[in-house]
C-alpha cells in the first residue's frame, strides 16, 4: 500500500499498517508551507469537542497516549492542564464548558483561585475561575513522527522523498513520472489532501488558507528559561506549555486574526512577535525578555471541520485520514483505519466520519478558534 504524506497522520498510518504485516511505501514531499505538524501546539485533549461523538473520538485519542504510547520514551508527558479565567466572557464560557466536561465524565479538578500560586508558581493573572484537567498532556509532534516512521521502517516500510502528482485505483504517479503500484492508497497529505484526492476525481475538501481564517495560527517557541511552566496553562490571552529542552510553546489565539498564509512559515510581522513577548512578560513576569520565535502554521481542516477517515471511492482502493487535532487523534485513528483496511468492520465510533459524506455536501466550515480552550 502507498501512504501519501509522512508527517503526523501519514507516519502513524504507515506504522499501523506495516506492523500488521502490510508492505508499505510512504511518499512524502517535505514542504514547510504545508507542514501542520511542525506548527502544532501538541496539546493532547478532548477539551472543547462538539458534538459528543467527536468528544468520544478525542477522548479515545487521549487515552491512547496514556495507554499504548505511554511506553514510548519522550513522546508524551501527562502534565495536566490548568485553565484560569479572569474576564467576564471567559468565566461565563468556561463555567459552561467545565460543567459539560464533568457531565461527560472527563476529569475536572475544581480549584480555588488562591490555589493558583501553588499550582503554577509565578503566574500573574487575574484568577476568578480555576479548573484543572489532570488527564491532559503534551506530545512532541516531531518525536512522534520519528517514532512512527522508525516503527514502520523496522517493520519493512519504504520511505520515498518525492511529490505525488496523482493517485488512482492502482497506485500513484510521482511528479517525475515514476509510478508506484499499490493495492490501496491512503492520502494523508494534510492541507493538500483535497488536491491530491481530486486527481482521482474524488472529493475530500479541506478549508483553503486565508488571512485570519480557521486554518491560520501563530505558534511561538521560547528559548529555555528556568521560569517555564511545568504543565499546560490557559489564561485569558495566552496559552503556555512546556517544551522538551526547557523552553515553552505559546499560543495567543487573539493575535491570529491577521495571520497571513503568504508569509508562512517565518515571515512574522514584528508587532506579532512583540505582542507575544509582552503577553509573556505580563502573564509570567519571571520569563520576561526570554527570546522567542514565532511561526505561522496552517491547520488541516476538512470541509465541515470534522475528521474524514476511511475509504473514499466505491471500491475501497483510495483511502484517507485527514483531520484537525491530528496529534491527539492521528495515532488512534491510524490504528482504526489499518484494522478496517485489513478487513475488520469499521469502528462504530467512526460512524459519521466517513470521507464519503462529502459527496452529499461540503458542510459548513467551522468558525476560527479565538477563545480560550479552542484549538
Ligand atoms: C497552529 C496549530 C496548532 C495546533 N495545535 C494542536 C494541538 O494542540 N493538538 C492537536 O492534537 N493538534 C493540533 N494541531 C493540529 C495538528 O497539528 C494537525 O492536525 C496534524 O499535525 C496534521 O498532520 P498531517 O500529517 O495530517 O498533516 P501535515 O503535518 O501537514 O503533513 C502532511 C504531509 O503531506 C505532504 N504532502 C502534501 N502533498 C503531498 C504530495 N502531493 N506528495 C507527497 N507528499 C505530500 C506534506 O508536504 C506534509 O509533509 C495544530 C495545528 C496548528 C497548525
Beta carbon of 46 within 6 Å of any ligand 1 atom: no
**Looking at the structure, do residues 257 and 279 belong to the same domain, yes or no?**
yes
**pLDDT confidence of residue 375:** 83
| Interatomic CA distance for residues 191 and 34, integer angstroms | 6
Are 152 and 93 found together in one domain?
Answer: no
Question: Mean of the pLDDT values across residues 231-260?
Answer: 97
In a domain, residue 375? The reply is: no
What is the count of structural domains for the chain?
3
Measure 188 CA to ligand 1 centroid, in angstroms: 9
What is the extent of the structural domain holding 109?
81-134
Q: What was the pLDDT predicted at 366?
A: 74
Among 134, 150, 169, the domain-final residue is 134
Question: Any residues with CB less than 8 A from the CB of 52 and at least 6 apart, and which?
Answer: 104
Q: Is 232 in the pocket of ligand 1 (CB under 6 A)?
A: no
**289 and 253 in one domain?**
yes
130 and 204 in a single domain? The answer is no
Is 353 part of any domain? yes
Does residue 53 sit within a domain?
A: no
| d(CA 226, ligand 1 centre) in Å | 30
Task: Tell me how crowded residue 281 is: count the other CB atoms within 10 A of its CB.
Answer: 15
In this structure, how many other beta carbons lie within 10 angstroms of the beta carbon of residue 152? 27
Distance 94 CA to ligand 1 centre (A): 28
Q: Is 351 helix (H, G, I), strand (E, B) or coil?
A: coil
Asked if the structure places residue 245 within a domain, the reply is yes
Average pLDDT, the chain: 96
Residue-wise pLDDT for 321-336, tens only, equals 999 999 999 999 999 9
Domain shared by 289 and 308, yes or no: no
Q: Within this chain, do residues 122 and 89 fall inside the same structural domain, yes or no?
A: yes
Q: Does the beta carbon of 9 sit less than 6 angstroms from any atom of ligand 1?
A: yes
ipTM of the predicted structure? 0.99
How many whole angstroms from 158 Cα to the centroid of ligand 1?
21
- Mean pLDDT computed over 245-253: 97
Q: What is the CATH number of the domain that holds 276?
A: 3.30.70
Asked, for residue 283, whether it belongs to a domain, the answer is: yes
Q: What gap in Å lies between CA 286 and CA 239, rounded to an integer?
A: 16
**Which residue's alpha carbon is nearest to atom 37 within ligand 1?**
189
Same domain, 127 and 271: no
Do 225 and 266 belong to one domain? yes
3-class DSSP state for residue 250?
A: strand
Q: Is residue 367 part of a domain?
A: no
- pLDDT, one tens digit per residue, over 30-50 is 887 779 999 999 999 999 999
43: Cβ below 6 Å to ligand 1?
yes
* 10 C-beta closer than 6 A to ligand 1: yes
Asked if pLDDT for residue 259 goes beyond 90, the answer is yes
CA of 314 to the centre of ligand 1 (A): 26
Mean pLDDT of 258-269: 96
Domain shared by 232 and 130, yes or no: no
Amino acid at each position: 500500500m502507498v501512504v501519501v504524506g509522512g508527517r503526523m497522520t501519514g507516519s502513524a498510518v504507515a506504522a499501523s499498517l506495516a506492523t500488521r504485516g502490510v508492505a508499505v511505501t510512504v511518499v512524502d514531499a517535505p514542504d514547510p508551507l504545508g507542514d501542520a505538524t511542525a506548527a502544532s501546539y501538541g496539546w493532547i485533549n478532548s477539551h472543547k469537542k462538539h458534538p459528543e461523538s467527536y468528544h468520544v473520538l478525542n477522548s479515545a485519542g487521549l487515552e491512547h497516549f496514556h495507554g499504548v504510547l505511554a511506553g514510548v520514551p519522550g513522546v508524551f508527558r501527562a502534565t495536566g492542564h490548568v485553565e484560569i479565567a479572569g474576564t467576564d466572557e471567559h468565566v461565563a464560557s468556561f463555567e459552561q464548558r467545565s460543567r459539560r466536561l464533568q457531565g461527560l465524565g472527563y476529569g475536572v479538578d475544581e480549584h480555588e483561585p488562591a490555589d493558583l500560586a501553588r499550582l503554577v508558581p509565578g503566574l500573574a493573572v487575574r484568577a476568578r475561575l480555576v479548573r484543572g484537567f489532570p488527564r491532559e498532556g503534551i506530545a512532541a509532534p516531531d518525536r512522534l513522527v520519528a517514532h512512527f516512521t522508525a516503527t514502520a521502517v523496522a517493520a519493512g516500510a519504504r520511505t520515498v522523498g518525492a511529490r505525488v502528482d496523482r493517485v488512482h485505483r492502482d497506485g500513484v504517479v510521482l511528479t517525475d513520472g515514476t509510478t508506484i503500484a499499490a493495492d490501496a492508497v491512503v492520502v494523508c497529505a494534510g492541507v493538500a489532501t483535497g488536491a491530491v484526492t481530486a486527481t482521482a476525481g474524488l472529493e475530500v475538501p479541506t478549508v483553503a488558507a486565508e488571512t485570519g481564517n480557521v486554518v491560520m495560527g501563530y505558534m511561538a517557541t521560547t528559548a529555555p528559561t528556568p521560569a517555564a511552566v511545568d504543565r499546560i496553562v490557559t489564561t485569558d490571552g495566552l496559552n503556555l506549555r512546556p517544551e522538551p529542552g526547557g523552553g515553552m510553546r505559546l499560543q495567543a489565539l487573539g493575535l491570529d486574526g491577521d495571520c497571513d498564509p503568504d508569509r508562512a512559515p517565518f515571515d512574522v510581522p514584528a508587532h506579532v512577535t512583540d505582542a507575544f513577548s509582552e503577553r509573556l512578560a505580563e502573564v509570567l513576569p519571571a520569563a520576561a525578555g526570554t527570546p522567542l520565535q514565532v511561526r505561522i502554521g496552517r491547520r488541516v481542516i476538512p470541509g465541515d471541520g470534522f475528521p474524514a477517515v476511511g475509504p473514499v471511492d466505491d471500491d475501497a482502493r483510495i483511502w484517507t485520514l485527514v483531520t484537525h487535532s491530528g496529534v491527539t487523534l492521528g495515532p488512534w485513528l491510524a490504528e482504526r483505519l489499518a484494522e478496517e483496511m485489513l478487513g475488520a468492520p469499521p469502528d462504530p465510533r467512526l460512524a459519521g466520519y466517513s470521507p464519503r459524506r462529502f459527496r452529499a455536501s461540503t458542510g459548513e466550515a467551522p468558525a476560527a478558534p479565538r477563545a480560550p480552550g479552542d484549538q
